[in-house]
Amino acid sequence: MHTNLKKHAKKAGQPPGTVIYTGQKRQDDCDITIIDYNQDECTVYEHQKDKACLPFLKSTTNTWININGIHDVELIKFFGEHLQIHPLTLEDIANTTQRPKIEEYPEYLFIVLKMISYNEKTRELDTEQISLIVTTNTVISFQERAGDIFDPLRRRLQNAGSHLRKAAADHLAYAIIDTTIDHYFSVLESISNEIEEVETKLLNDPDNTILHRIHKLKNQMIGLRKTVWPMRELINDFIRSESAFIQKSTHIYLRDAYDHTIQVIDTVETFRDLIAGMLDIYLSNLSNRMNSIMKVLTIIATIFIPLTFITGLYGMNFEHMPELTYPWAYPAVLGFMLLVAGGMLAYFKRRRWL
Amino acid sequence: MHTNLKKHAKKAGQPPGTVIYTGQKRQDDCDITIIDYNQDECTVYEHQKDKACLPFLKSTTNTWININGIHDVELIKFFGEHLQIHPLTLEDIANTTQRPKIEEYPEYLFIVLKMISYNEKTRELDTEQISLIVTTNTVISFQERAGDIFDPLRRRLQNAGSHLRKAAADHLAYAIIDTTIDHYFSVLESISNEIEEVETKLLNDPDNTILHRIHKLKNQMIGLRKTVWPMRELINDFIRSESAFIQKSTHIYLRDAYDHTIQVIDTVETFRDLIAGMLDIYLSNLSNRMNSIMKVLTIIATIFIPLTFITGLYGMNFEHMPELTYPWAYPAVLGFMLLVAGGMLAYFKRRRWL
Amino acid sequence: MHTNLKKHAKKAGQPPGTVIYTGQKRQDDCDITIIDYNQDECTVYEHQKDKACLPFLKSTTNTWININGIHDVELIKFFGEHLQIHPLTLEDIANTTQRPKIEEYPEYLFIVLKMISYNEKTRELDTEQISLIVTTNTVISFQERAGDIFDPLRRRLQNAGSHLRKAAADHLAYAIIDTTIDHYFSVLESISNEIEEVETKLLNDPDNTILHRIHKLKNQMIGLRKTVWPMRELINDFIRSESAFIQKSTHIYLRDAYDHTIQVIDTVETFRDLIAGMLDIYLSNLSNRMNSIMKVLTIIATIFIPLTFITGLYGMNFEHMPELTYPWAYPAVLGFMLLVAGGMLAYFKRRRWL
Amino acid sequence: MHTNLKKHAKKAGQPPGTVIYTGQKRQDDCDITIIDYNQDECTVYEHQKDKACLPFLKSTTNTWININGIHDVELIKFFGEHLQIHPLTLEDIANTTQRPKIEEYPEYLFIVLKMISYNEKTRELDTEQISLIVTTNTVISFQERAGDIFDPLRRRLQNAGSHLRKAAADHLAYAIIDTTIDHYFSVLESISNEIEEVETKLLNDPDNTILHRIHKLKNQMIGLRKTVWPMRELINDFIRSESAFIQKSTHIYLRDAYDHTIQVIDTVETFRDLIAGMLDIYLSNLSNRMNSIMKVLTIIATIFIPLTFITGLYGMNFEHMPELTYPWAYPAVLGFMLLVAGGMLAYFKRRRWL
Amino acid sequence: MHTNLKKHAKKAGQPPGTVIYTGQKRQDDCDITIIDYNQDECTVYEHQKDKACLPFLKSTTNTWININGIHDVELIKFFGEHLQIHPLTLEDIANTTQRPKIEEYPEYLFIVLKMISYNEKTRELDTEQISLIVTTNTVISFQERAGDIFDPLRRRLQNAGSHLRKAAADHLAYAIIDTTIDHYFSVLESISNEIEEVETKLLNDPDNTILHRIHKLKNQMIGLRKTVWPMRELINDFIRSESAFIQKSTHIYLRDAYDHTIQVIDTVETFRDLIAGMLDIYLSNLSNRMNSIMKVLTIIATIFIPLTFITGLYGMNFEHMPELTYPWAYPAVLGFMLLVAGGMLAYFKRRRWL
């Protein structure tokens, strides 16, 4: 987040529409994949150059152009020129600090998505921005990094009978959104595992790392919320949009995707509540442990302090202490001490401290 | 929840409308019951095969087909084909992670309900999904497990004079929803018992299990909220729906059911507040107990530490300590000690520590 | 609440419109009072039988029929038959778990109110349900118990010049609602007394009962909120209703009653905040007391533990301790001890512990 | 508040429109001031009788009649009769428990304001109700007590060039509201002083009075909110009103007054947050102080308890303790003790307790 | 804030439209810069007198007049006269306590912005008010102080190809707003640095200053929220405005600026959550430290108190204590003590205190 703010801050005063890449520095080339399909055929062209895309932009078949890597600003500008894309859109594609949103332009629909992945080892969330340009029969998708979550989509495109093959480009856009949202569930599953693990540890064997794990989960929920709520808005705007690029038949599918985001939001909110509850338990445990520490101290101290006083009493060096000379005095004092200790123990028992 | 997220996660990238059962694995057969009725007659056919349903789907009498068990995906697809049900609906029937909702299709109404039951022994909440397909004169209900909460409904159907017999299929759908909501009250009653029990224990005999019971109740309220609020929306959408399958005369009954969900929500929110209050009391109790432990320690220590110092004083081995030789010195010191102890006790009394 | 949930739960699966009394069991007879009035006359008939009401239902004069006690289900059904009241309304009259609400039927208005009373001795809130059936010139009111809060209303009816005598039945309904709301203020006054009492006790002489009194107040506010907010909705619905039974001239009075409910809600919310503040103070007091206990212990211990160490030092039995033989050693050690103690006290003074 | 609730409670069952003064008992006479003005002239008549107002009510010049003191119920009724004011309005003027509001009647506008003042000595907030009756060219204002916050307004009226002189009566009503709201800022300034004072004291020299001052500020914010939010609604209703008494040209001024109430609300909410933060700091300070007390105790105890044990060891009276006879034993033990104490101190240093 | 309240408070009772400067006292002159531009030319005139602006107000080219310093009330009035600006607007320009807002007048648009800067050394936020008067081809901007954040804007104006040069005055107004908002990101970046620093310190090396830094951050977030939310409203009102001064082509840019404010708000809210989490950690740390202090005390005390009791026992001076004479008694007692200490240590190990 810090890096993004810095980049954003540096843009202050620059004209809107300035295309600046705001993600992490990268050296590798951007990779273009073209999938051209209609009801009858589907061809995949991998590792293409930018100019190879031009014929597909004008063809009557449906085309999905996927670009992995958005650090090549010239590439973004290339598509901007050939598709008459508004400079503000190009700026948003390169700037990875966008919120998920949908924007309607007369020439295209512009959609920004956030894909989330969870690193099981470091227990860190990672966010990646995916931008879509949708026209009647073309979808251009920009991803920050190469990833494999869209592989099942490609396989469905290659399956001649699939609904995806028959439908227009807006259905492909929907499918990309839907796949992204479905991916949230696997992230939530990983987090759910972590929550269960932390909860088990919390109840059985709490230590100092627990607080930091709870704290991290809490911050991750803050981050997830910030991402998921706009996804819901985005799909809602998608449904209510009257853009010519959206077929009526897609509405029912969008409603389904909307239901899924609501489920994601519900789960995130539930996790928040669960995590808040875990923090409460952690703090109660701290208090409980303090109580039990104090109990031990108090029991030991209240038993032995009076006894030590008695031994001190008969350790005094007064010349005239008649008790000291009686032969039965020592055993009597020992007995009295036992009595005192027993009384104390009985008192603690009654107070349920033992 | 965990299991459901896993299942959902695995569906990522699959085409929408893929019918996959996401509940627990089950071996037993799905069980079909057909109740065919009109104002004059009512016949119950139990343990039927799927094909036995076909004639009823086309008859002019009202028919309620209840399927216990949704793990037989083929069965769901069977009804999907014969009733022209949208693949997304079939997917939702089999996928038990749905939120309660109502969806209008030209051919039918699709309703998803959540039934909740409370296991008195384990004090766990259990959620079951019930899906309804409603057409003009047919209701098909899919339950996850066989259950008996709809038995009173069947008896009402067999009662010739009942309003249910005379009304259209939408009234049967209402009756199923209403029965489900009424069942929430019995769950709330059980939870109310548990709350009272915990509260009594909290005030009289708090121990370590209390915190976990409060925590469990809190999490159950989180779960209940997640289920009940969409039920309210569902009925609201039902009332405002302009679907041809809903008779005007049913509105007044739906309004009644709406009032009931509001009562359930009110009660859940009240329980949440009560449980939050119990947690406050628990934590205050912890602090109070700590206070009383510290008081005991402090009283004992502040009385005996100065006394022990005095005994130490006269236990020193200096050769020139004139006090040691006076015969009245020992009793004088004893008396002084009593004075000190008495003064301390008086101080504690004034401070209300005793 | 518990009892009500139980009753409600048992109704699950029964046909809607089943009239079951859900309050506490009662043996005494229901008591009917009829007040027949118009601009010129007003006659009160007490302790009537149900059939005595019939002529009044058809007369052109205004009639207020008040029934104390709703445990006689047959009585409710009797009115239901003669006034063509919908079964759901009859069910709601007998079922005391309703939220305050107004429902419009073509033949009548149905209003449910909650009256609240405060038992000064047990400091308990008591809720009673009042149901009104309003037609053009008849108001039928059902109370759970006989009560005297409507006595001033009767007196106003017997006063020939009162606006109430001249107005239609809807004004009487308004007057009943207004009287009920005004009664909330007297309950709030009692609670305000209790809050002041608890606050005074909290600041001057806090003990263990304080927490339970704060907790009780908090739970009572939870209960009050649950009752008052729907009262506000009810009056709002009343104002916006376009029912033929409501005269335009009554609107201005309803607006006044609406203002009163807002005042009640404001006061309840203010009380909630005050009570939350009291809980904060209680907990701070606990911490403060702990601090002062710890201070006493620490002062005593840190002064005497070093001193006791010194006495121990010269209580050792080594043969070669030259200090022991000097005549000035004992007074020197005593002086040193005084110095140590004085230094400690000065340190505590600087730290503001004394 | 308590007194008001009592008065309100006693009104239960009385007919609406009963004019009862609910403020504190007062003996002094109500004082009437009449200011008659138009673009050319402005005359002030002080200490008038009620009948002196009558000619002005019918004149074509603008008239502001200000009544200090509303405990003379007859006076309120006098104006009620001559201006055809609705009984409910008269009741509201005398009843000082109203919320700020605006009510439109065909014959007049009725506005209730709350003026707040802050007593610097007792640090108490004081609320006073101001009621306005606005017609085309008359404003009648009822104040609970004589006050001087409207003196600048009078001076502006006597200034021939002022916009106020030229405008209709609604502008005078606006000016009264605006002056009242501006007065809130001086109250907020006083509270801001108190907050800064408490914050300084909290950071430098916290004592027991701090908690009560924070608590008082918190309760004052609760009270202010209850007053300010309805002021905002009132002005909003004023702006959207379509009453014939409001000139279009006044709208722009009302919008300005609206902005001011928003600023007051913003400041109150900010103060609430600041005060909540102060409470957090107070509680953290308590914990910090406890920590430092415990540290002192622990350092002293853990250093001297082991040492005292050693002295006890060599204070035992066993006959066969060879160490006691070595001449170097005493210095050796002393040295060992120094070592133990030094080790402890080093340990505390490492733990950053020193 | 305090100063502003004071100034505002003193204005109570004064006629609306009184132009009073409410910022800090300043001696230096106000500085006027005029930038006159159209598609072909752009000329900058620095350090102008007020009268020099007059010709530009009437020219057909676009003009941006920037005034640094608003403490010269006469200057504000000068523009007020020549541009027919409403007195309320002039009052708002001089009064630096405004909330961000947009107001439409027939002759001009009035926009109030808040610019925020962060002082890295004192870690204080500083707020400055910027007011804009926008007509068809003139923008007059009033700044409290000279600042350089608009320098990039000037450079863009001097760049012949820029969109800014070609567009109408409303686009310049947008550019000023956009630059102001972009400046928020650099403030947020600085705060993000401070948050990270505090978090690192909190986890590794918490001390007493931490609480004050967290507290300061919290108060800064309170202040930022108060500023940012109205900025969002302002742009929203700007977009929905139907004023003739706003070109349709500007809408798409305003939508972009709106997205940026949403991002700012999102970040502020996220920071609030993070800071709240840090406070939780701080308090848990306090409790944890208390626990570890208590543990050390308890371990030391519970090991040595019983041992000291034993030494006291054999330090008693009874004549008849046979144990004292046995040669093996001393080593036996030492051994027993070792056993007791070892047992205690084992107990602590089992309890995980070591």
- The pLDDT tens digits for D249-276 are 889 899 999 999 999 999 999 999 999 9
What is the DSSP code (8-state) at residue D99? P
- The phi and psi torsions of C139 (rounded to 5 degrees) equal -125, 125
3-class state of residue E244 by DSSP? coil
Query: Least CB-CB distance to B192: which of C2, C88, C333?
Result: C2
Query: Least CB-CB distance to A5: which of E189, E255, E256?
Result: E189
- The pLDDT tens digits for A165-199 are 888 889 999 999 999 999 999 899 999 999 999 99
Among chain D residues, CA nearest to E97 = D263
- The pLDDT tens digits for D83-106 are 889 989 999 998 888 899 999 998
Asked whether the beta carbons of residue B353 and residue C293 sit closer than 8 angstroms, the reply is: yes
Instruction: Looking at chain C, list the stretches that DSSP marks H as alpha helix, in order from N- to C-terminal side.
Output: 2-10, 54-58, 73-82, 87-94, 151-158, 163-166, 169-204, 208-240, 251-313, 329-350
Average pLDDT of the segment spanning B92-109: 90
- Which other chains touch chain A, taking contact as 3+ CB pairs less than 8 Å apart? B, E
Banded pLDDT at A1 (limits 50, 70, 90): very low
Q: Give the best residue of C108, C207, C283, C289 to mutate against chain B (max B CB count within 10 A).
A: C289
Scored b (16 or more CB within 10 A) or e, B112-121 reads: bbbbbbbeee
- The pLDDT tens digits for A228-286 are 999 999 999 999 988 888 888 889 899 999 999 999 999 999 999 999 999 988 988 88
Percentage of residues of chain C with pLDDT beyond 70: 95
Q: E-chain residues within 8 Å CB-CB of A287?
A: 287
C–D interface: beta-carbon pairs under 8 A = 161
Asked whether the beta carbons of residue A267 and residue B86 sit closer than 8 angstroms, the reply is: no
Banded pLDDT at C9 (limits 50, 70, 90): low
Q: B-chain residues within 8 Å CB-CB of C283?
A: 284, 287
Among chain C residues, CA nearest to B161 = C15
Residue D192: what pLDDT?
93
Residue D11: what pLDDT?
61
Banded pLDDT at B172 (limits 50, 70, 90): very high
Residue C48: what pLDDT?
85
Over D40-56, what HEC string results?
A: CCEEEEEEECHHHHHHH
Residue E260: what pLDDT?
93
Residue A11: what pLDDT?
61
Residue D40: what pLDDT?
86
Asked whether the beta carbons of residue E312 and residue A315 sit closer than 8 angstroms, the reply is: yes
Residue B13: what pLDDT?
63
Asked whether the beta carbons of residue B314 and residue A309 sit closer than 8 angstroms, the reply is: no
Q: How confident is the prediction for chain D on average, in pLDDT?
A: 88
Query: Least CB-CB distance to E178: which of A5, A16, A329?
Result: A16
Banded pLDDT at D5 (limits 50, 70, 90): low
Q: How confident is the prediction for chain E on average, in pLDDT?
A: 88
What is the DSSP code (8-state) at residue D36? E
Q: Give the best residue of C103, C201, C297 to mutate against chain B (max B CB count within 10 A).
A: C297
The CA distance from A266 to A272, in Å, is 10
Q: How far is C227 from chain D (nearest CA, A)?
A: 18
Please, are residues D215 and D202 in contact by the beta-carbon 8 Å criterion? no
Banded pLDDT at A82 (limits 50, 70, 90): confident
Asked whether the beta carbons of residue E16 and residue D308 sit closer than 8 angstroms, the reply is: no
Q: A-chain residues within 8 Å CB-CB of B286?
A: 284, 287-288, 291
Query: Least CB-CB distance to C101: which of B178, B259, B270?
Result: B259
Asked whether the beta carbons of residue E291 and residue A294 sit closer than 8 angstroms, the reply is: no
3-class state of residue E205 by DSSP? coil
ipTM over 0.85 threshold: no
The CA distance from A177 to E308, in Å, is 74
Asked whether the beta carbons of residue D156 and residue E15 sit closer than 8 angstroms, the reply is: yes
- The pLDDT tens digits for A130-175 are 999 999 889 999 998 887 788 888 888 888 878 888 888 899 999 9
- The pLDDT tens digits for E165-201 are 888 889 999 999 999 999 999 899 999 999 999 999 9
3-class state of residue D125 by DSSP? strand
Asked whether the beta carbons of residue D223 and residue C267 sit closer than 8 angstroms, the reply is: no
The whole-model pTM stands at 0.85
Q: A-chain residues within 8 Å CB-CB of B1?
A: 192, 267, 270
A–B interface: beta-carbon pairs under 8 A = 160
Among chain B residues, CA nearest to A194 = B2
Residue C1 has pLDDT above 50, yes or no: no
Average pLDDT of the segment spanning B17-22: 79
Average pLDDT of the segment spanning C230-242: 92
Q: D-chain residues within 8 Å CB-CB of C350?
A: none
Q: C-chain residues within 8 Å CB-CB of D301?
A: 301-302, 305
The CA distance from A163 to E15, in Å, is 71
Query: Least CB-CB distance to A315: which of E188, E284, E315?
Result: E315
Average pLDDT of the segment spanning B231-254: 90
Nearest Cα to Cα of residue B157 among B302, B34, B4: B34
Residue C30 has pLDDT above 90, yes or no: no
Asked whether the beta carbons of residue E289 and residue D291 sit closer than 8 angstroms, the reply is: yes
Q: A-chain residues within 8 Å CB-CB of B312?
A: 312
Average pLDDT of the segment spanning C15-23: 78
Integer angstrom CA distances of residue C276 from B280, C214, C285, C286, D57: 11, 9, 14, 16, 50
Asked whether the beta carbons of residue A182 and residue B8 sit closer than 8 angstroms, the reply is: yes
Percentage of residues of chain A with pLDDT beyond 90: 49
Asked whether the beta carbons of residue B288 and residue C208 sit closer than 8 angstroms, the reply is: yes
Asked whether the beta carbons of residue C2 and residue B297 sit closer than 8 angstroms, the reply is: no
Q: Kindly give, in sequence order, each residue whose CB lies less than 8 Å from that of residue B300, ignoring residues fewer than 6 positions away.
A: A301, A302, A305, A306
Scored b (16 or more CB within 10 A) or e, D13-50 reads: bbbbbebebbbeeeeeebebbbbbbeeeebeeeeeeeb
Q: E-chain residues within 8 Å CB-CB of D196?
A: 2
Banded pLDDT at C108 (limits 50, 70, 90): very high
D–E interface: beta-carbon pairs under 8 A = 159
Please, are residues B57 and B82 in contact by the beta-carbon 8 Å criterion? yes
Q: B-chain residues within 8 Å CB-CB of A268?
A: none
Residue predicted with more confidence, A208 or D317: D317
Among chain B residues, CA nearest to C222 = B270
Query: Least CB-CB distance to A178: which of B16, B311, B324?
Result: B16
Choose the weakest-confidence range: A215-219, B84-88, E156-160: E156-160
Residue A151: what pLDDT?
86
Residue B1: what pLDDT?
46
Residue E290 has pLDDT above 50, yes or no: yes
Asked whether the beta carbons of residue B312 and residue C316 sit closer than 8 angstroms, the reply is: no
Residue D1: what pLDDT?
46
Query: Least CB-CB distance to B286: which of A262, A263, A284?
Result: A284
Q: Record the tokens describing residue C196, joined without a space.
A: 């002041």
Average pLDDT of the segment spanning B200-213: 85
Among chain D residues, CA nearest to E89 = D256
Q: Give the best residue of C269, C278, C309 to mutate against chain D (max D CB count within 10 A).
A: C309
- The pLDDT tens digits for D96-151 are 888 999 999 988 999 999 999 998 899 999 999 999 999 988 999 999 888 778 88
Query: Least CB-CB distance to E2: which of D196, D255, D298?
Result: D196
Residue E10: what pLDDT?
58
Average pLDDT of the segment spanning D214-223: 92
Q: How far is B233 from chain A (nearest CA, A)?
A: 13
Asked whether the beta carbons of residue C222 and residue B302 sit closer than 8 angstroms, the reply is: no
Asked whether the beta carbons of residue B222 and residue A273 sit closer than 8 angstroms, the reply is: yes
Burial of B139 (0-12, 13-18, 19+ CB in 10 A): buried
Scored b (16 or more CB within 10 A) or e, D53-76 reads: beebeeeeebbbbbbbbbbbeebb
Q: How far is D8 from chain C (nearest CA, A)?
A: 6
Burial of D305 (0-12, 13-18, 19+ CB in 10 A): buried
Which residue segments constitute the domains of chain C, with CATH numbers given?
Answer: 2-284 (3.30.460.20), 290-350 (1.20.58.340)
Q: Find the helix or strand (DSSP H, E) in which E143 lies.
A: strand E138-143
Query: Least CB-CB distance to E327: which of D185, D266, D320?
Result: D320
Asked whether the beta carbons of residue A192 and residue B300 sit closer than 8 angstroms, the reply is: no
Q: A-chain residues within 8 Å CB-CB of E256?
A: 16, 88
Percentage of residues of chain E with pLDDT beyond 90: 49
Q: A-chain residues within 8 Å CB-CB of E263?
A: 8, 97, 99
Q: How confident is the prediction for chain A on average, in pLDDT?
A: 88
Q: Record the tokens describing residue E115, joined without a space.
A: 């610019």
Residue B70: what pLDDT?
86
- The pLDDT tens digits for C136-152 are 889 999 998 887 788 88
A157-161, B202-206, D240-244, E133-137, range with greatest mean pLDDT: E133-137
Asked whether the beta carbons of residue E99 and residue D266 sit closer than 8 angstroms, the reply is: yes
Q: How far is B42 from chain C (nearest CA, A)?
A: 17
Average pLDDT of the segment spanning C204-215: 85
- The pLDDT tens digits for B178-192 are 999 999 998 999 999
Q: C-chain residues within 8 Å CB-CB of D297?
A: 294, 297-298, 301-302
